[in-house]
Amino acid sequence: MKIKKILNNNAVIACDSDQQEIVVTGLGLAYKKRVGEVLDKAKIERIFKMESNEVSKKLRDLISEIPIEYVGISEEIILLSKEMIPKNLNENIYLTLTDHIHFAVERIEKGYVLTNPMAWEIKRFYIEEYKVGLKALEIIKARLGIELPPDEAASIAMHIVNAELNEEMPNMIALINILQDALNIIKYHFSLELDEDTLSYQRLVTHLKFFAQRIINSEKESSTDESLFQLVSVQYPDAYECALKIKLYAHEKYQFEVSKSELTYLIVHIEKVIQSNR
């Protein structure tokens, strides 16, 4: 494996057996080395091969600017997330999470503590991702001796959710707002505090997550079962009225037209969660 470009003493760009560019890191990997020389395999710690050329370039730029240990910490957290949550992650997380952790540690070292205004919602709606965030704080403390505030667990969880949904951060924030607003509409329509420990509530939240994502991406449900819609709207009139309020909200705030198919699912989930609460 020959060096194509030296990023710093600990990182280089090399070519693999298929002559594809890869980023190779390791402590002192490029020390006193020159372009064209062969890498010492014993010093190689990590190899990054990105599918996207754009992500690969940004990763190279990032590695050349920040201490190498942040890349290792980020990768450890990403691997942990994949173990705890069996979901594919957009490879862009290697950039966003590494950069976030580095910036968060820098802020703490300078005495700046920022709160995450979405921390409560993340902890509530993305339980597994938040657990990864808490574990990530332990990893950061063990590797760097820096104790980040609890809100950072939510921030790290947001990066993981972004990578799962393949969404940008502004879209992620909008998604959580839609989720919260829809739950509030249900709560106030029925004048009822929802029991978040029930299976029906978790199913409702899961459905609302996808519903919110469809709103953000302007994706409509394609299938329509008119007979099923007529059946549930008549059978569950209170849930139907509540679903209509959510439909109006989506139209007025996001110019999104909720289909009858989507309304059907909303009615059924709302009815189930209300019945379980009663």
Whether residue 33 is predicted with pLDDT greater than 90 in this model: the reply is no
Q: What is the model's pLDDT at position 221?
A: 64
Domain that holds residue 151: 69-166
Site of tokens 């969880």: 157
Backbone angles phi, psi at 46, to 5 degrees: -145, 145
Confidence band (pLDDT; 50, 70, 90) for 247?
very high
Residue 223 lies in a domain: yes
Q: What is the model's pLDDT at position 156?
A: 96
Whether residue 21 is predicted with pLDDT greater than 80 in this model: the reply is no
Residue 95 lies in a domain: yes
Choose between 173 and 15: higher pLDDT.
173
Residue 261 amino acid letter: S
Whether residue 123 is predicted with pLDDT greater than 80 in this model: the reply is yes
Nearest residue to 76 via CA among 126, 141, 11: 141
Site of tokens 């829809």: 182
Confidence band (pLDDT; 50, 70, 90) for 98?
very high
Residue 241 lies in a domain: yes
Structural domain count of the chain: 3
Same domain, yes or no, for 202 and 260? yes
**What value does the mean pLDDT take over residues 121-130?**
92
Residue 114 lies in a domain: yes
Which of 19-28, 61-70, 238-247 comes out lowest in average pLDDT? Answer: 19-28
Residue 97 lies in a domain: yes
**What value does the mean pLDDT take over residues 58-67?**
83
Confidence band (pLDDT; 50, 70, 90) for 225?
low
CATH number at residue 44: 2.30.24.10
Alpha helices in the chain (DSSP H): 53-65, 69-84, 93-109, 119-125, 127-144, 151-165, 169-190, 199-216, 226-235, 237-254, 260-277
Confidence band (pLDDT; 50, 70, 90) for 25?
confident
Whether residue 51 is predicted with pLDDT greater than 80 in this model: the reply is no
**What value does the mean pLDDT take over residues 74-90?**
92
Same domain, yes or no, for 162 and 175? no
- Per-chain mean pLDDT for the chain: 88
Residue 125 lies in a domain: yes
pTM for the model: 0.75
- Dump pLDDT digits (tens) for 149-178: 999 999 999 999 989 988 777 788 889 999
Q: What is the model's pLDDT at position 43?
A: 84
Nearest residue to 209 via CA among 239, 242, 167: 167
